Chain A
Amino acid sequence: MMSEEAVSVPSTNRLYVQEPNSNPNPNTTSNPVKKKRNLPGTPDPDAEVIALSPKSLMATNRFICEICNKGFQRDQNLQLHRRGHNLPWKLRQRTNKEVKKKVYVCPEKSCVHHDPSRALGDLTGIKKHYSRKHGEKKWKCEKCSKKYAVQSDWKAHSKICGTREYKCDCGTLFSRKDSFITHRAFCDALAEENARFGTVSATNPNFMNGNLNNPQTASRIPQISQIFQPEFAGSEPVGNLSADGQRPRLPLWLDPANSQLNSNALMGANSTGSLPAELLQTSPMNMFGSSSHSQQWLNKFPDSSFTGGNLSMSSLPRGLKEEEESKRNLSETITFLYPNSQNPQQNPAHMSATALLQKAAQMGSTRSNPAFNSSSAFGLMSLSSSNVSNFNSYNHHIKNDSQKFIRQPNQTENFSELANTLSSSTPATKVDDGSSSLFSNSFLGTSKNLESLMMPSNSKQGHASVGGLKLLAGTSNESEHSLTRDFLGVGGDASGSFFQQELAKFASMGSAMDLSQYTRHH
């Protein structure tokens, strides 16, 4: 028999015991005085603490009839059964004096409720707790295979299982309204964020699709190269170059167009560490290694650029089909990094720095095309809107003459080397002595020497180098003068002069010779 006292019980004992509220007045079921409940796990300090062994806690049918050995869960039931055997029975009345409150501790030592200060106030509670926490889960839900140790838990769950009514946007299901609301209030995948994401990623296809539009045929290319070569052969005086009235261009190394380094690195830095390495190392090869690629960007060049707009940079097309991976990465990084429109980024005046970085990364990735360098340099420099129209017209002109300037794959390699030197991912080839001496002079020369900014070209291939060297030789004097000015050339001269200087500087660079050819023809 249990050491505990049986609670006195009326005939309706079953009902009574089921009730969570212990009713001091057993005969009344209406208007019960609700007993004050302590907080769970915070027992009444002067309650009697009862520690039951696990066996007794888990025992069912503790009350055994001595005649027939039938087991009963409650003493009252046993007593009633004994009446049937004509045995003396006794149903104890509930004592009228104040019942000392009993609290129970869990027999499991590692359990929090083992401590008397954390005892539980209800026997049924402690039994259920023991089963749940330290017992074996014998009851299993049919629908979802969730297991329970306490039968009532199992029943309660089975009623609810599958009847889920609430689903958060993040995918979590709730059967209860209150838990659903609480979760939803703090859930990350709020609908509005998804909406923002959705609008943003919608813009990506524009970039992606732009890459895929290569309507031009390859037939153009042979023409281009033919036109190009003869023009290239002669040496051009600097004056010619200057007359083209180029926009002030950034020195190649400062030129944002020039470095896929910038864009790729930006993208890479945003995503994984390994990515930029890949892009840097592979993209030059991809861009220029295959002539088909160069054709594609050549084709791209005349058409889609210079469509005007606030930023001519942003309108520059994706010249090259970079390898799928980098494209994918780009789109991933774009989607990943595109800021929420919580920032008023629609208004460029308030563009956040993170948005700018992403934009730069996107732009840079489009500029794997060296022929773009000049145009995008223009784009960069002529950013003010008043320039745009001029620029656009200029570019329009360029577009018409672009065939002359699109280099052969041969020359693309020069740029690739240039790009490579910028990214330093591939070793640079040697430069002719002529150019190197010029460079060394520059290096040791005046400070505002833009030539020195330009990475030396490694153009030794074909006609390019010849023209380049001649240019170098031809323009060295001139460039010396212009060297002392900064590239924006505003020292003393009229604004127009800095174009000339720009061109001169570009001309003096071996790698830039292609650009200067380009400019020369205007």
Chain B
Amino acid sequence: MVQEEGSSSVTSSPLQFFPWMPVSPGVGGSPYPWLRELKSEERGLYLIHLLIACANQVALGSIENANIGLEHISHLASPDGDTMQRIAAYFTEALADRMLKGWPGLHKALNSTKISSVSEEILVKRLFFELCPFLKLSYLITNQAIIEAMEGEKMVHIIDLNSSEPAQWINLLQTLSARPEGPPHLRITGIHEQKEVLEQMALRLTEEAEKLDIPFQFNPVVSKLENLDIESLRVKTGEALAVSSVLQLHCLLATDEENQRSPPSTSKNLQKVFHLNQRTLGEWLEKDSSYACNLSPDSALSPLSVSASPRMGSFLTGIWGLSPKLMVVTEQESNHNGLTLMERVLEALNFYAALFDCLESTVSRASMERLKLEKMLFGEEIKNIIACEGTERKERHEKLEKWILRLELAGFGRVPLSYHGRLQATRLLHSYAYDGYKIKDENGCLVICWQDRPLFSISAWRFRRYE
């Protein structure tokens, strides 16, 4: 504490407070030179507050305010800065996208010329597999559960709900070939939207199986998960069925019914803004108080919400009808399916902060791959969570407790994941020198955490006859 005679300094010219500030702020480019002086921690905190405030404005539909907020954030956020800056960049992009959806014409015009490249998407998935341990762990644990469940089985049929990464099944093939009773006859049915991806998978896997001399068959099914025809899976009687779902189930929660509830739709709010002078502000706020920041009344565990998703229900019933011996579900451990925007923003902030931290701890800031992963995978997920509603919003992550409820309702019984699998997973973490990750056991389900923040949950299920 330097100046104790506060009064004099207070009444004197403000310049005294910021002697370092240039008189003509135009010099130096950024109109906020003092911002550069911020240390990264301060800047990070500032960004957090700005983000939340801005999200709140978006939720309320105050476009003007939100715009100002975004403007401020834009001076601090950057996709190649530190973690908080990156997160802010993607969140603001998502918020802006959401705001823009209020002008559908504009939004479509801006997005119409986007080139979506299959190879880029595949690359991004691969980057996620390589740069982060989550997929590796999930595959490992899934495979271990499969092997344990299929002990003694001669005919094994595996359904892969999103077949894009051959590494998972190559690992399984190798482990199966070392089985003491010999490998079973293995059939893998891979589901994916793009034919090319499945063709790639087929090639790699059959090649590997031949090397290991395992009787193997790969059946591609080109389909979206929500339109999946159970018949196309061609499950035969007498074969032991296992289903592997890695980060796939949540998109089935996308439903239309939210339109029947009262969602914050930006276009409605826009009109309100324009008609502002016809009402007093207070009235306006009163009416809109339902929009922003109303946290849904414990939507998490109400049975209504769990059973409310028809697509999920019919999908799970279909799978249940196949009487699978095992189904391993890996999902993001975070509630990004809240009814209100603010709920989702806050949860997503915490979740993706942890994810971005993971990357920060293992990959350098200059890495192009990291940038691509952040932008094309995480950024797109964030955009989907924040900007999309209804059937468009696919990234409806939910916490493990909800998945447990859902799956139990659908007729599945829990299969505890073995200690052996967990051991292997922990060994993998050690071998890759991934520091800071942890694997926790929660009643037989495994949760992969980063610094105590749970990120992904893995649980195993089996067909259960109703007693």
Chain A interface residues (CB < 8 Å from chain B)? 39, 41-42, 112, 115, 117-118, 186, 188, 243-247, 251, 253-256, 259, 261-262, 265-266, 268-270, 272-274, 276-277, 280, 307-308, 310-311, 313, 336-337, 339-340, 342-343, 348-354, 356-357, 359-360, 363-364, 380, 382-387, 389-398, 400, 421-431, 433, 435-437, 439-440, 442-444, 447-450, 452-453, 455-456, 458, 486, 488, 490-491, 494-496, 499, 522
A186 touches B422 (CB 8 A): yes
> How far, in whole Å, are A429 and B280 apart by their CA atoms in the complex?
10
Chain B interface residues (CB < 8 Å from chain A)? 1-7, 9-23, 25, 31-32, 34, 37-46, 48-50, 52-54, 56-57, 60, 62, 64-65, 67-69, 71-72, 83-84, 87, 151-152, 180-181, 273-274, 276-277, 280-283, 285-286, 288-300, 335, 338, 342-343, 346-347, 349-350, 353-354, 356-357, 360-361, 422-423, 426-427, 435-436, 438-441, 450-453
Question: Which residues of chain A are near B62, meaning CB under 8 Å?
Answer: 452
> How far, in whole Å, are A400 and B283 apart by their CA atoms in the complex?
39
> What is the distance, in angstroms, from A490's C-beta to the closest C-beta of chain B?
4
> How far, in whole Å, are A456 and B40 apart by their CA atoms in the complex?
32
Can you add 18 more A-B contacts, CB < 8 Å, to A188-B438, A400-B6, A455-B285? A244-B11, A253-B56, A265-B293, A268-B295, A273-B299, A348-B39, A349-B39, A353-B354, A354-B450, A357-B349, A393-B4, A393-B5, A427-B286, A430-B282, A444-B274, A452-B62, A486-B68, A486-B71
B288 touches A424 (CB 8 A): yes
> How far, in whole Å, are A269 and B34 apart by their CA atoms in the complex?
32
Number of A-B contacts (CB under 8 A): 332
> How far, in whole Å, are A337 and B378 apart by their CA atoms in the complex?
22
Given contacts A343-B357, A495-B21, A496-B14, contact A424 B45 (CB under 8 A): no
Q: List 13 A-B contacts (CB under 8 A).
A: A112-B151, A256-B45, A256-B46, A349-B39, A350-B40, A351-B44, A380-B46, A383-B46, A384-B37, A390-B16, A393-B3, A447-B68, A456-B281
Which among B65, B151, B299, B356 is the interface contact of A353 at CB below 8 angstroms?
B356
B53 touches A256 (CB 8 A): yes
Question: Which residues of chain B are near A452, meaning CB under 8 Å?
Answer: 62, 64-65, 68
Question: Which residues of chain B are near A444, meaning CB under 8 Å?
Answer: 274, 276-277
B296 touches A392 (CB 8 A): no
Question: Which residues of chain A are near B32, meaning CB under 8 Å?
Answer: 488, 490
Which among A274, A356, A395, A428 is the interface contact of B45 at CB below 8 angstroms?
A356
Question: Which residues of chain A are near B438, meaning CB under 8 Å?
Answer: 188
> How far, in whole Å, are A42 and B179 apart by their CA atoms in the complex?
11
Question: Which residues of chain B are near A310, meaning CB under 8 Å?
Answer: 39
Question: Which residues of chain A are near B19, meaning CB under 8 Å?
Answer: 386
> How far, in whole Å, are A254 and B426 apart by their CA atoms in the complex?
43
> What is the distance, in angstroms, from A454's C-beta to the closest C-beta of chain B?
9
A245 touches B14 (CB 8 A): yes
Question: Which residues of chain A are near B435, meaning CB under 8 Å?
Answer: 342
Which among B9, B42, B50, B60 is the interface contact of A397 at CB below 8 angstroms?
B9
Question: Which residues of chain B are near A391, meaning CB under 8 Å?
Answer: 17
Question: Which residues of chain B are near A353, meaning CB under 8 Å?
Answer: 44, 83-84, 87, 353-354, 356-357, 360
Which among B3, B37, B64, B354 is the interface contact of A354 at CB below 8 angstroms?
B354
Given contacts A273-B296, A447-B68, A456-B281, contact A354 B350 (CB under 8 A): yes
B283 touches A259 (CB 8 A): no
> What is the distance, in angstroms, from A505's C-beta to the closest C-beta of chain B?
12
B342 touches A265 (CB 8 A): yes
Given contacts A254-B69, A453-B68, contact A244 B294 (CB under 8 A): no
B53 touches A254 (CB 8 A): yes
A430 touches B4 (CB 8 A): no
Query: Across the two chains, which residue of chain A brings its CB closest to B279?
Result: A436
Question: Which residues of chain A are near B21, meaning CB under 8 Å?
Answer: 495
B14 touches A383 (CB 8 A): no
> How far, in whole Å, are A359 and B353 apart by their CA atoms in the complex?
13
Question: Which residues of chain B are near A496, meaning CB under 8 Å?
Answer: 13-15
B346 touches A397 (CB 8 A): no
> How far, in whole Å, are A365 and B210 apart by their CA atoms in the complex?
61
Question: Which residues of chain B are near A400, meaning CB under 8 Å?
Answer: 6-7
A186 touches B14 (CB 8 A): no
B353 touches A311 (CB 8 A): no
A274 touches B295 (CB 8 A): yes
> What is the distance, in angstroms, from B150's C-beta to the closest C-beta of chain A?
13
Query: Across the two chains, which residue of chain B brings its CB closest to A493?
Result: B25
B11 touches A422 (CB 8 A): no
Given contacts A269-B346, A343-B357, A428-B286, contact A393 B56 (CB under 8 A): no
> What is the distance, in angstroms, from A96's C-beta to the closest C-beta of chain B?
33
> What is the distance, in angstroms, from A314's C-beta to the closest C-beta of chain B?
9
Which among A269, A383, A396 is the interface contact of B39 at CB below 8 angstroms?
A383
Given contacts A343-B451, A427-B286, A428-B285, contact A522 B14 (CB under 8 A): no
Query: Across the two chains, which residue of chain B brings its CB closest to A309?
Result: B1
